[in-house]
Amino acid sequence: YRIGGQVFSRFDSILRLDSATLGTGTQIRLEDDVNLDERITIARADGLYRFNERHHAAFSAYDINRTGTRRIERDIRFGREVFTIDTFVASVIEQRVSKISYGYTAMLRPRGSVGPTFGLHVMELSAGMALASEPQLDDASTTAPLPMLGVRGEYRFAPRWRLQGALEWFDVEAGDARGVFSDFIVSVEHETFEHFGFGAGVNVFGLDIESGDDNFRGAIDLSFSSFVVYFTGDLGRTAR
């Protein structure tokens, strides 16, 4: 397992919330237009269970919550509401991410391994905007269960050091939603003690989805890069 923190150094978020009656909303660059947080730190948990040397299951879970307040420099149509220029608005966007996957080690060598993975990436996304002086006026939320394919590998370059990496992606078109996402993480781990160590790495994520769902009618284009620091542990050795 891995438990640690994730420090986000860069967000790039574009959101558009449409209305069934008013039509297409305004495309908003959240970090620029409404001053949404660009640098935050969160907790993150990851786990990997090996059934044997070739089969494993992995999971991840984390919650990203960002807020912002700003006097807007243009009119913004957000769902059913219109915010006029020079208005102070408060905004929030939250992403709750849970991932679970199965992996098969297709190539196994004394110092390294690599193989395909597949699973489910579930993201609960909610966004809201309001006058800064009033309760929230309009918001939207959706849960996007995204099937994913990927590849995972590791390479032991020293007795206690190893390099790990994973890439997941999918191009989805289901019901009223269509889009693409990718998630890449690479890290270096040190086995400091027999069942305990530490690691650090980088995570790059991208999501571009358009939806006509009643709960979330619009589009979001989201990407981030972050630095991950964590402790590692295991409950007992299994054969690799």
Tens-digit pLDDT profile for residues 62-81 = 999 999 999 999 999 998 88
Q: What is the pLDDT of residue 18?
A: 92
140 vs 208, more confident: 208
pTM comes to: 0.85
- Has residue 164 got a pLDDT over 60? yes
Contacts of 107 (CB under 8 A, 6+ apart): 113, 114, 115
pLDDT in tens, 189-203: 999 988 889 999 999
- Whether the pLDDT of residue 141 is over 90: the answer is no
Q: How many CB atoms lie within 10 A of CB 10?
A: 12
Q: Cβ distance 34 to 1 under 8 Å? A: no
Beta bridge partners of 149: 118, 169
pLDDT of residue 240: 43
- Residue 178's pLDDT is 83
3-state secondary structure of 133: coil
**What gap in Å lies between CA 223 and CA 29, rounded to an integer?**
12
Burial class (CB in 10 A: 0-12, 13-18, 19+), 134: exposed
Burial label, 114 (beta-carbon count in 10 A; 0-12, 13-18, 19+): middle
User: Residue 239: pLDDT band by 50, 70, 90 thresholds?
Assistant: very low
Say which residue the tokens 């970090």 belong to: 31
CA-CA distance, 117 to 32, in Å (whole number)? Answer: 37
